Structure 1
Amino acid sequence: MFKNQLNHFRSWSCREKKGERHHIMMKLLCGITLLLAIAVAYYIYIPLPRTISEPWKLMVLDATFRGVVMMGDVAHSLGVRHRVHVINSAIINFESLVPITNQEIHIEDLLFDGVHVRVYQPPRQEGKLRRAVMFIHGGGWALGAPKLGSYDSLCRQMAADLDAVVVTVDYRMAPDVHFPVQYNECVQAAKHFLRSEVLAKYSVNPERVAVCGDSAGGNLAAAVAQRIGTDNTTTVKFKLQVLVYPVLQALDFNTASYQQNQDVPILYRRLMARFWLEYLGADLDLVHSLMINNHTAQDQSLPSSTQSKLDWTTLLPKRVRKNYKPVFPVTGSPKILKDIPALLDARAAPLLAEDEVLRMVPPAYIMTGEHDVLRDDGMMYARRLELAGVSVINEHYEDGFHGCVSFAFWPCYFSVGITAVQNYIAWLDEHL
């Protein structure tokens, strides 16, 4: 009997110890899970303005993009692959998830004067001349998949909704090439497309052609519009230009919108400075100097005519300037402008164009977002065009952020992106 009781006690004791170990393991697992959840939440969460479109969705999107950028930086520092190529590979993989829409649109991948383009054509109607849009994609002159995902969907939608021929320019990008290659290729493609025989081939009315671009593509579209407008050898001109949150200058990284939105996704001030340096083939170690305006400090003696072209204290209304003040150090780095002369080149920075150039460009639709570092670039350009006598519409979104137009399609869409795409296509439909 005693042995039975002892065995029973031992069995109970073992079960008790197993139960305790199981309990401890569960508590440990719960603790680790909680810590991981807190770490993930800490990484994802960033304070955002209350008026920005769908902030939690934007936080998740931004956390993903930041992770990809960090992967690119690590790969670059280890000498495995250039950071831009890593980021672009991730973008291409993501964009491949976007389903193809408007499949009735016929597409052709061609060369226009040696430049890769894709031509979108809606079903033809015999005897009818159509409108046309040349679209130039964004991505900091370095990123983007113009023939995939959101850009492909956007071009298909424009072709379908406008019953128009759409040409997207697949220009080469940094770090493989630098300014002025991207600009030159867009100009080459535009001049080729605007030839009378090419427009006739696609049944396009030569008086109804627009140029359009977003972000860095807006920069290129504005520069191309200036070039075509002043080019006496090009008889056909663009009727309209559409610039979606364009980047137009690199002399002031402390405009009111840069100060207000420097930490707002998905385009941070530091990232924009890096894009500029990459585009211009300059030393990326100059990022901090650009961010604090060392290249345009008070001792740099920029021509007054240049300063006036980006004087946001006079070009922007008070409601936009708020209480922000200009930031220009007393002493700076004169070597920057000497080593990177393209910072003062209007082909790279269309906001610096002379008034006589601006008078030759077509009427403009310029979209800006309140929560975008580039907001003031677009608004200053709109004001300069107005002062030059050019008709301008500045469509401003109080809940807009940079890149929102690219997020108007499944699987990652924002209400402000959907609205923005609908509105600018509607404007084109009415005016083109």
Structure 2
Amino acid sequence: YRMLPDHHYPSIVRDCLNASIHFLKALKGYDVDPSRVVTCGDSAGGWVAALITQTLVGRSDLPRIRAQVMMYPIVQAVNLQLPSYQQNQNVPFFSQKFMLTCLCSYLAIDESWKEAILNGAYIPPDAWRKYRKWVSSDNIPQKFKNRGHQPRSPSPFNEAAYLETKHILDVEISPLLADDETIARLPEAFLVSCENDILRDDTLLYKKRLEDQGVPVTWYHVEDGFHGC
């Protein structure tokens, strides 16, 4: 896909979606069994894999995706105060600071809004009430909270921050926010998380989101793993 710093939202998703549709329409030419196509990706690739799987799930003109494989995917940028974001904020190779820089660059958001994104000040109260059931740290098992987690609610709403950053709440950026009907139609998933990774809890949230809608999930957790390992 076309990459930063020259190309921004939504180039990554659109490029990968177009390539996927082309591939699915040409499976015979690639000698691929149409019943065995899987989406797969790690980190940002896991985010794209989730989005492509969601986008194509209702397409009757294309072969159905057999399964989705995601290794420490980015599936939301709404709650950046999850336990893993606090515990692993300075762990190489994907620190909290670097993630925010990449997020702002891709979404063409001025970096002066980093703090508002980090503390959730850009989230309207009604949006937080709507999405909290999916993005709250309440969904993270207690055993993952024992290492220095301080529960935090979003800071007071800042309308100026919202106007500059509201596309973070789009499903194309945060596929965890897809509606229940879409989630329920997704194929089975294999999810990998790493303990020493700020994205650990994104995997846990997506695991719960899928399971709550009856989607079969196989989960593997790397106890001594870190982002990129």
Report the TM-score range of the alignment, normalised by the length of the smaller protein: over 0.9
5+ residue gaps, structure 2, are: none
In the TM superposition, residue 366 of structure 1 has moved relative to its aligned partner by: 0.8
- Residues in 1 aligned to 2:32 and 2:177: alpha-carbon distance in whole angstroms: 32
CA contact (8 A) 2:119 2:155 kept: no
Correspondence for 1:187: 17
The residue matched to 1:381 in structure 2 has which SS? helix
* Of 34, 48, 61, the match for 1:220: 48
- Residues in 2 aligned to 1:201 and 1:258: alpha-carbon distance in whole angstroms: 44
Correspondence for 1:175: 5
- Provide, for residues 338-383 of structure 1, a one-character-per-residue CA deviation record: whole Å limited to 9, x for no partner: 2223211111111111111111211111110000000000110011
In the TM superposition, residue 294 of structure 1 has moved relative to its aligned partner by: 2.3
CA contact (8 A) 1:269 1:291 kept: no
Which letter maps to 1:336? A
In the TM superposition, residue 330 of structure 1 has moved relative to its aligned partner by: 4.3
In the TM superposition, residue 293 of structure 1 has moved relative to its aligned partner by: 2.6
- Provide, for residues 158-202 of structure 1, a one-character-per-residue CA deviation record: whole Å limited to 9, x for no partner: xxxxxxxxxxxxx0012211111111111111111111xx11111
CA contact (8 A) 1:364 1:393 kept: yes
Correspondence for 1:203: 31
* Of 287, 304, 316, the match for 2:140: 316
The residue matched to 2:156 in structure 1 has which SS? coil
CA contact (8 A) 2:73 2:202 kept: yes
In the TM superposition, residue 266 of structure 1 has moved relative to its aligned partner by: 1.1
Which letter maps to 1:172? R
Correspondence for 2:130: 305
The residue matched to 1:302 in structure 2 has which SS? helix
Among all aligned residue pairs of Structure 1 and Structure 2, give the percentage whose two residues are the same amino acid.
35
Correspondence for 2:64: 237
Which letter maps to 2:172? R
CA contact (8 A) 2:27 2:34 kept: yes
1:207–1:290 CA distance, 2 compared to 1 (3 A): same
- 1:276 and 2:106 correspond: no
The residue matched to 2:6 in structure 1 has which SS? coil
- Residues in 1 aligned to 2:159 and 2:151: alpha-carbon distance in whole angstroms: 19
- Residues in 1 aligned to 2:122 and 2:156: alpha-carbon distance in whole angstroms: 9
1:178–1:367 CA distance, 2 compared to 1 (3 A): same
> In terms of Rg, which structure is larger?
1
In the TM superposition, residue 303 of structure 1 has moved relative to its aligned partner by: 4.9
**How does the TM-score come out when normalised to structure 2?**
0.94
- Provide, for residues 212-263 of structure 1, a one-character-per-residue CA deviation record: whole Å limited to 9, x for no partner: 111011101100010011234x330110111011011111111000011111
The residue matched to 1:301 in structure 2 has which SS? helix
Superposition pairs of residues 28-427 of structure 1, within 5 angstroms:
171-195=1-25, 198-232=26-60, 234-296=61-123, 300-313=125-138, 315-322=139-146, 324-404=149-229
- Residues in 2 aligned to 1:259 and 1:338: alpha-carbon distance in whole angstroms: 26
Which letter maps to 1:238? I
- Residues in 2 aligned to 1:329 and 1:235: alpha-carbon distance in whole angstroms: 41
5+ residue gaps, structure 1, are: 1-170, 405-432
What stretches of structure 1 move > 6 A for 4+ residues in a row? none
Which letter maps to 1:319? K
In the TM superposition, residue 329 of structure 1 has moved relative to its aligned partner by: 4.6
- Residues in 1 aligned to 2:154 and 2:65: alpha-carbon distance in whole angstroms: 41
Give the total of aligned pairs: 228
> Which of 1 and 2 has higher RCO (CA within 8 Å, sep 6+)?
2
1:200–1:285 CA distance, 2 compared to 1 (3 A): same
